[in-house]
């Protein structure tokens, strides 16, 4: 479906939040920066130009759903164009015209009905906590600190490792915490990036209500996506909480001697900066400090690191969409780690974990490269507990 006439297309992008469209002066740095061009053609500048002059905007175009919102182009744009906002606006129009890909429509209706994107029920949402022996009564009690694991570790068995190691560390450090259980919903960060604004706002309001009912002051998150939306987006809807990513929280516990490292980890570890932890939120040092404090661990820096980190390809809702094998950005990252002879690819994001795990397996490298969240490594070197 195409939206025309020209002026109408531009106006609707601007109306739906794509004001940034006007400031682009077509230098093309965004196209040169976008990682998709390492695996396929993605002419970001040209698409922005198309929108600017109001040329036929194909709302059903597959390219409208390609951007992983990694932020690399935004960081380099000399005009400060909020390119992600343009994609968000285009997607919002596509959703209004019922032109989102079918698979995505299914994910979004699952989130609307059950509060999660993984085709599972809300009733199963606290199963992970019960499995880990967290007293389910805690879910009803008031708690200053809540651990909000993200839908991915809750419902995906592979990513469950992140919640398991996080809870193990919390117990070792004697931290008093609660969980929201079935009252928790998807944080909505990727939902918003997909242009589904009403759904995002409903999710955010439901979470804010659940947190406020339990007098929560502080939220511990495993996902940089949850972190991002809690810090930058929930306050505009009235939800103001102190938010800490696990890398910040556990570094603090180490520095306060509430958690003690008592084992070496004699491996070469390459740390991958998740886009929403690094580029979007400037949290680069905490994960590295944790890894650097572990005896015998050799910390390696991948070629594209910190501000220049290569995206895993999972943001912006991409984690819920199929990406062709030959177009997986995560394969490139795994390849970089392998070339450095890393034994472990360490990360701090559930989306990165799913993508890198898949790539390592698909590339047949499971015997030489492990993929681990930093909490998993920390759990191993802090003695008893879960050793994944």
Residues found near ligand SF4 in the complex (CB under 6 A): 24-30, 33-34, 36, 44-45, 48, 67-73, 77-79, 81, 83-84
Output the six-digit token pair for 173: 């450090």
Output the six-digit token pair for 309: 């980190």
In the three-class reduction of DSSP (H, G, I as helix; E, B as strand; rest coil), residue 296 is classed as: coil
Say which DSSP state 185 is in.
-
Closest CA to 184 of 159, 157, 231, 152: 152
**Cβ closer to ligand SF4: 45 or 161?**
45
**Cβ closer to ligand SF4: 29 or 299?**
29
Enumerate the β-bridge partners of residue 130.
none
**Cβ closer to ligand SF4: 44 or 216?**
44
Say which DSSP state 320 is in.
G
**Cβ closer to ligand SF4: 23 or 109?**
23
In the three-class reduction of DSSP (H, G, I as helix; E, B as strand; rest coil), residue 301 is classed as: strand
Taking the complex as a whole, how short is the minimal distance between the CB of residue 31 and ligand SF4, in angstroms? 7
Closest CA to 244 of 171, 191, 194, 170: 170
**Cβ closer to ligand SF4: 24 or 187?**
24
Distance of CA 162 to the CA centre of its chain: 13
- Beta-strand relationship, 218-221 and 242-245: parallel
Taking the complex as a whole, how short is the minimal distance between the CB of residue 339 and ligand SF4, in angstroms? 23
Taking the complex as a whole, how short is the minimal distance between the CB of residue 149 and ligand SF4, in angstroms? 26
Taking the complex as a whole, how short is the minimal distance between the CB of residue 80 and ligand SF4, in angstroms? 8
Torsion sign (Cα): 248, 150, 185, 65:
positive
**Cβ closer to ligand SF4: 36 or 250?**
36
Taking the complex as a whole, how short is the minimal distance between the CB of residue 330 and ligand SF4, in angstroms? 13
Say which DSSP state 136 is in.
G
Q: Give the HSE-up count for residue 2: Cα atoms under 13 Å, Cβ half-sphere.
A: 9
**Cβ closer to ligand SF4: 83 or 374?**
83
**Cβ closer to ligand SF4: 160 or 192?**
192
Taking the complex as a whole, how short is the minimal distance between the CB of residue 65 and ligand SF4, in angstroms? 11
Q: Within 10 A of 276 (CB to CB), how many other CB atoms are there?
A: 29
Taking the complex as a whole, how short is the minimal distance between the CB of residue 208 and ligand SF4, in angstroms? 27
Question: Which residue bears the tokens 């960060």?
Answer: 189
Residues in the chain, overall count: 388
Taking the complex as a whole, how short is the minimal distance between the CB of residue 29 and ligand SF4, in angstroms? 4
In the three-class reduction of DSSP (H, G, I as helix; E, B as strand; rest coil), residue 375 is classed as: helix
**Cβ closer to ligand SF4: 22 or 258?**
22
Taking the complex as a whole, how short is the minimal distance between the CB of residue 308 and ligand SF4, in angstroms? 11
Written as one string, the DSSP assignment of 236-255 is: GGT---EEEEHHHHHHHHHH
Residue 355 CA: distances (Å) to CA of 212, 321, 361: 34, 12, 10
**Cβ closer to ligand SF4: 72 or 251?**
72
| Pairwise CA distance, residues 1 & 228, whole Å | 33
Q: Within 10 A of 257 (CB to CB), how many other CB atoms are there?
A: 8
Taking the complex as a whole, how short is the minimal distance between the CB of residue 289 and ligand SF4, in angstroms? 27
């Amino acid at each position: 479906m195409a939206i025309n006439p020209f002026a109408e297309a531009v106006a609707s992008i601007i109306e739906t939040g794509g004001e940034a469209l006007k400031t682009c002066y077509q230098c093309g740095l965004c196209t040169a920066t976008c990682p998709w061009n390492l695996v396929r053609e993605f002419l970001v500048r040209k698409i922005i130009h198309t929108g600017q002059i109001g040329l036929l905007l194909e709302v059903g175009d597959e390219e409208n759903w390609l951007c992983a919102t990694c932020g690399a182009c935004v960081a380099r744009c000399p005009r400060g164009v909020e390119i992600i906002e343009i994609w968000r606006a285009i997607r919002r129009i596509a959703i209004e015209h019922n032109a989102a890909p079918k698979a995505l429509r299914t994910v979004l209706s699952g989130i609307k009905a059950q509060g999660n994107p993984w085709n599972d029920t809300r009733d199963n949402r606290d199963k992970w906590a019960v499995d880990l022996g967290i007293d389910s009564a805690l879910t009803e009690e008031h708690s200053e600190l809540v651990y909000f694991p993200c839908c991915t570790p809750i419902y995906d068995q592979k990513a469950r490792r992140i919640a398991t190691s996080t809870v193990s560390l919390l117990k070792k450090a004697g931290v008093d915490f609660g969980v929201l259980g079935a009252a928790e919903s998807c944080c909505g960060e990727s939902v918003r990036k997909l242009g589904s604004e009403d759904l995002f706002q409903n999710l955010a309001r439901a979470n804010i209500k659940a947190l406020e009912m339990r007098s929560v002051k502080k939220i511990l998150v495993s996902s940089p996506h949850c972190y991002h939306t809690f810090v930058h987006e929930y306050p505009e809807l009235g939800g103001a909480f102190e938010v800490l990513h696990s890398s910040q929280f556990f570094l603090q516990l180490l520095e306060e001697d509430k958690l003690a490292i008592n084992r070496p980890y004699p491996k070469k570890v390459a740390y991958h900066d998740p886009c929403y932890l690094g580029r979007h939120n400037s949290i680069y040092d905490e994960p590295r400090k944790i890894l650097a404090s572990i005896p015998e661990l050799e910390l390696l820096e991948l070629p594209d690191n910190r501000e220049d980190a290569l995206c895993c390809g999972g943001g912006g809702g991409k984690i819920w969409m199929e990406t062709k094998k030959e177009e997986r950005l995560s394969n490139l990252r795994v390849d970089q780690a392998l070339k450095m002879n890393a034994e472990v690819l360490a990360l701090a994001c559930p989306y990165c974990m799913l993508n890198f795990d898949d790539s390592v397996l698909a590339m047949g490298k499971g015997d030489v490269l492990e993929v681990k969240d930093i909490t998993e490594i920390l759990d191993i070197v802090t003695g008893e507990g879960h050793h994944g």
